[in-house]
Structure formats: structure tokens, C-alpha cells
Amino acid sequence: MNAREPEQSSAVREESLEPQVTRVCLERGETWVFASALDWPGWCRRGKGDEAAIDVLLDYADRYALVAGPGFAPGTVEVVGYVKGNRTTDFGAPDARGPWDSEPLDHQEADRLVGLLEKSWRYFDAVVRDAPAQLRKGPRGGGRDRDPIAAHVREAERAYSAKTGTRIPPHTPWHQQRAAVSMALRAAVTTGTWPVRYTIRRCAWHVLDHAWEIEDKS
């Protein structure tokens, strides 16, 4: 499989002493394939087949760079494994986990990954702040407006946190909810059914997927 490399500035190329590699897992459903960059939570896209999913992922490299900031240094895609999708995959959300999601996670790496999730939250907040209340609808009038999307993201984050054993009461102010999620994930352990690595990349995918949706419909 010949995967394209996202464009990098000459400065980044000169500073890189070794070729950068982007570890990617492919989640294969019957309808969609999701390509997820394992070390860059939130950089996850779908396509109709393996190569299409990787192509879309790389097409979003510049958009993800706006979220991750100057530390984002992707390189050649290396597919590290495949996992079978399910109904949720074909509905349009990554939902399957692989052995990479249970890799040991020290506190330094947990802090880096949670930091990227927090950047995703800040990016989403800025998009919501700048977007019109009413968004463009699909050809048949489908789709949610800005505030219902934001409410959906907030409630999804609360539901996701429960998967790690962190129970957040309904109607908790959003900044307090996020603080509780960050603290639990930075501990790098879970008492729930979702591994920490998977929780971070699933949460980051969800918030950025909707941030980009709002941008595209504004």
C-alpha cells in the first residue's frame, strides 16, 4: 500500500534526524473503514476501503495540525494492524479496539495524549463560538444546528467517561466535567471497560468530527 505523506515545511524536515512514522490502525466495517492515527488522538477519518480511509486521513493532516499545534510531525503511514468493525462502525463511528489500545501508558505519555484531547476541546469551543446558530442542512434538510451539536458532544463526553469508571452527574458544568475527565485519564489507569488510550482517541475523534462538521456547514 502506497500511502501519501502529508506535506511538511522544510524546517520540520531539516529538524527531523530520523524519518517520522505515523502508526495507523484500520477498523474494517462492511460499509466504512476507519483509519486512526494511534499517537495523535482525534486524527481519524473514514473511507470506502483501506486506501480511501488513509487518503482521507492524510487529507485532514493540515486541519489536524491547526488543533495539535507545532509539535505535530506526521510522517509515512505505517499500518500496524486491523480490527473488525461492527454496526457502530458502519453507522459512522469508530468503535472497535485492538491490542494497541492496551499498550502500557506511562504518565508522561498520558499527559501528552490528554493534552491533545484538551486542545481538541479548545478547538471545538472556538469553532462553536464563531459559528452561526443555524447551520446549512443536507439536501433533504437533515442535520443538527450548532447548539444541539454542542449539547450532544457534552453528553457524549459524560457517557464516555463512565466507560473508564468515572461517573459524572448530569448537569455538571462543562468545564468541571472536562476537568474530571482529564484528571481520570492522566492517572493512566481505568476501572471501566475502555482502556485509557482508546478512551482518549475516541473522545478526541468525536469532538473534532463535530468541530469539522460545524466548520463545513457554517
Domain finish residue from 48, 67, 96: 96
For 41-52, the pLDDT digits (tens) are 999 999 999 999
pTM score: 0.89
- Distances in whole angstroms, Cα of residue 172 to Cα of each of 175, 184, 188: 8, 16, 23
What pLDDT score was predicted for residue 191? 85
Q: Tell me: do 108 and 213 sit in the same domain.
A: yes
Going by C-beta distance under 8 Å and a sequence separation of 6 or more, which residues neighbour residue 98? Answer: 25, 81, 82, 83
Express each pLDDT in 182-210 by its tens digit. 999 999 888 889 999 999 999 999 999 99
Query: Do both 15 and 65 map to the same domain?
Result: yes
Residue 184, C-alpha cell as written in the block: 481520570
144 burial class (0-12, 13-18, 19+ CB within 10 angstroms)? Answer: middle
Sheet containing strand 76-84, edge to edge, reads: 44-47, 33-37, 21-28, 76-84
Check whether residue 123 and residue 207 sit in a common domain. Answer: yes
User: Are 197 and 118 found together in one domain?
Assistant: yes
Residue 5 lies in a domain: no
How many domains does the chain divide into? 2
Same domain, 113 and 65: no
For residue 1, is it within any domain? no
pLDDT at 74: 87
Q: Give the residue numbers spanning the domain of 83.
A: 10-96
Residue 194 parent element (H or E): none
Q: Is residue 137 part of a domain?
A: yes
What pLDDT score does 19 carry?
53
The arithmetic mean of pLDDT across residues 21-43, rounded, is 97
Same-domain pairing of 91 and 109 = no
